[in-house]
């Protein structure tokens, strides 16, 4: 008996000594991560890289970014690299159809289920989110956040000086907009074309309501139905009150117009909260204000950034360690307070977040949740690219019927509608 006890004790001691040595196995070489979080969009990503480097000092992180909001330029570069057999170690991709209907369908991604299990992440995210990044065959990316698309931004003091109140509906907005224009103020700041897609989804959500918005994406409501046409009509009305130089501006420059008082409002995702607080050092609730975009109160149009692991890497170790950092509570709560988003995890520490994020988190818990088109949830890349052309045409011609018809055609072409 005594000998058995001794053997067991020796085994336990060995196990205790062996575990740290195994864990301490140093990673080395390079890790190339690919995203569109450059410049002003960089600080939150930098926080993650810092955390990774602290844990894995032997790895040289190559932060490959291609500027351009919502990945307008990055996605094209990524496509070329993926098709050319030169994938980055890990790349930014939106949860939903941008991931599943594009890269998973093309069999380009590695199943992360084992990693999720090793890192204890199977229960860390809401079930609905796991559904968006998973199929029957696996889990295909690591979510880093939840962003809200349908938000209107303004500066409370400037709105007061303009003698107006924040509109609740598009009717309210259309009533006040001409008065602002008379004063030389742009009612609604707009930037390059992808931000028109972004504005469109807020307008369409207000015009259609959440149920019909969802119905567009599961093929139950035609894009050229009377409801579909009405959304484009309203969008056309709204565009009359945007700035003429929109197509040459970045989304940050449109936000700047609001900060400077050249414009009254801007509808943008809550990365604008990150920009206003992290870059511009403005205090949420005091220096800048927000509300659900006009006519969408009680609805939360969401999207989630995530990173995936492409097939075909020589060595996946550094990328797997990267994804583990992204999924961790520590990583999430380092990244999101700077980014303007809320954590995708169910256990995040809200005390680390500002008042904007706290309000977004509360809304996420009680609102009706719908997916964003402009940021990859509802449609694959094929539809998105075609939709960009529909939008371009609409911006030139302002023809609601033609746009609705074209949208229906591309929905059929890309397998959304019959």
Structure tokens given for 32: 């190339």
DSSP 8-class letter at 69: G
Q: Pick the closest to residue 213 from 389, 411, 373 (CA basis).
A: 373
Name the residue nearer to ligand GAL (CB basis): 36 or 173. Answer: 36
Handedness of CA 342, 343, 347, 350 (dihedral sign): negative
Q: Of all residues in this chain, which one has the CB nearest to ligand GAL in the complex?
A: 69
Smallest separation (angstroms) from ligand GAL to the CB of 222: 27
Q: Please, are residues 36 and 69 in contact by the beta-carbon 8 Å criterion? A: yes
Count of all residues that appear for the chain in the document: 418
Sheet containing 299-303: which strands, arranged edge to edge? 147-148, 299-303, 368-371
Smallest separation (angstroms) from ligand GAL to the CB of 181: 28
Smallest separation (angstroms) from ligand GAL to the CB of 374: 7
- Helices (H) and strands (E) in the chain — how many of each? 18, 14
> Locate tokens 């797997």: which residue?
320
Smallest separation (angstroms) from ligand GAL to the CB of 401: 29
Name the residue nearer to ligand GAL (CB basis): 95 or 221. Answer: 95
Structure tokens given for 124: 């860390």
Smallest separation (angstroms) from ligand GAL to the CB of 36: 6
d(CA 19, CA 5): 21
Name the residue nearer to ligand GAL (CB basis): 143 or 269. Answer: 269
- Binding residues for ligand GAL, rule: CB under 6 A, are 36-37, 41, 69-71, 147, 251, 269, 271, 303, 305, 375
Name the residue nearer to ligand GAL (CB basis): 33 or 162. Answer: 33
d(CA 170, CA 296): 10
Name the residue nearer to ligand GAL (CB basis): 205 or 303. Answer: 303
Smallest separation (angstroms) from ligand GAL to the CB of 194: 8
Name the residue nearer to ligand GAL (CB basis): 69 or 331. Answer: 69
Helix (H) or strand (E) holding 382: helix 381-397
Name the residue nearer to ligand GAL (CB basis): 277 or 408. Answer: 277
Name the residue nearer to ligand GAL (CB basis): 71 or 134. Answer: 71
Smallest separation (angstroms) from ligand GAL to the CB of 382: 17
Smallest separation (angstroms) from ligand GAL to the CB of 63: 15
DSSP of 24-90: T----EEEEEEES--GGG-HHHHHHHHHHHHH-TTEEEEEEE--SGGGTTHHHHHHHHHHTT---SE
Distances (CA, A) of 38 to 65, 120, 175: 6, 31, 38
């Amino acid at each position: 008996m005594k000998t058995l006890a001794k053997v067991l004790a020796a085994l336990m001691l060995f196990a205790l000594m062996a575990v740290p040595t195994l864990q301490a196995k140093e990673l080395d070489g390079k890790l190339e991560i690919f995203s569109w979080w450059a410049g002003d969009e960089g600080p939150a990503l930098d926080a993650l890289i810092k955390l990774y480097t602290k844990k894995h000092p032997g790895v040289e992180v190559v932060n490959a970014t291609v500027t351009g909001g919502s990945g307008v330029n990055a996605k094209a570069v990524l496509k070329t690299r993926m098709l050319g057999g030169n994938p980055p170690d890990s790349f930014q991709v939106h949860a939903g159809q941008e991931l599943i209907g594009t890269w998973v369908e093309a069999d380009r991604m590695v199943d992360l289920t084992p990693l999720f299990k090793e890192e204890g992440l199977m229960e860390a995210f809401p079930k609905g989110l796991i559904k968006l990044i998973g199929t029957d065959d696996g889990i295909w990316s690591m979510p880093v956040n939840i962003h809200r698309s349908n938000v209107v931004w303004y500066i409370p003091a400037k709105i007061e000086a303009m003698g107006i109140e924040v509109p609740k509906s598009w009717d309210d907005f259309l009533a006040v907009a001409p008065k602002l224009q008379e004063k030389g103020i742009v009612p609604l700041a707009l930037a390059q074309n992808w931000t028109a897609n972004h504005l469109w989804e807020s307008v369409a959500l207000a015009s259609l309501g959440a149920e019909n918005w969802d119905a567009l994406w599961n093929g139950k409501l035609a894009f050229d139905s009377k409801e579909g046409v009405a959304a484009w009509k309203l969008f056309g009305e709204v565009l009359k009150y945007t700035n003429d130089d929109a197509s040459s501006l970045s989304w940050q420059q449109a936000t700047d117009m609001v900060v400077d008082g050249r414009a009254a409002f801007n509808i943008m995702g809550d990365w604008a909260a990150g920009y206003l607080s992290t870059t511009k050092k403005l205090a949420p609730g005091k220096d800048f204000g927000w509300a659900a975009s006009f006519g969408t109160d009680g609805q939360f149009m969401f999207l989630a950034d995530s990173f995936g692991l492409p097939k075909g890497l020589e060595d996946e170790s550094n990328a797997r360690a990267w994804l583990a950092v992204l999924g961790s509570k520590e990583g999430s709560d380092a990244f999101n307070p700077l980014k303007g988003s809320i954590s995708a995890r169910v256990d995040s520490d809200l005390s680390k977040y500002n008042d904007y994020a706290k309000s977004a988190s509360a809304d996420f818990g009680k609102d009706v949740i719908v997916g964003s088109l402009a940021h990859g949830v509802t449609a694959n890349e094929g539809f998105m690219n075609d939709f960009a052309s529909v939008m371009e045409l609409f911006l030139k011609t302002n023809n609601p019927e033609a746009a609705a018809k074209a949208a229906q055609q591309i929905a059929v072409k890309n397998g959304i509608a019959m």
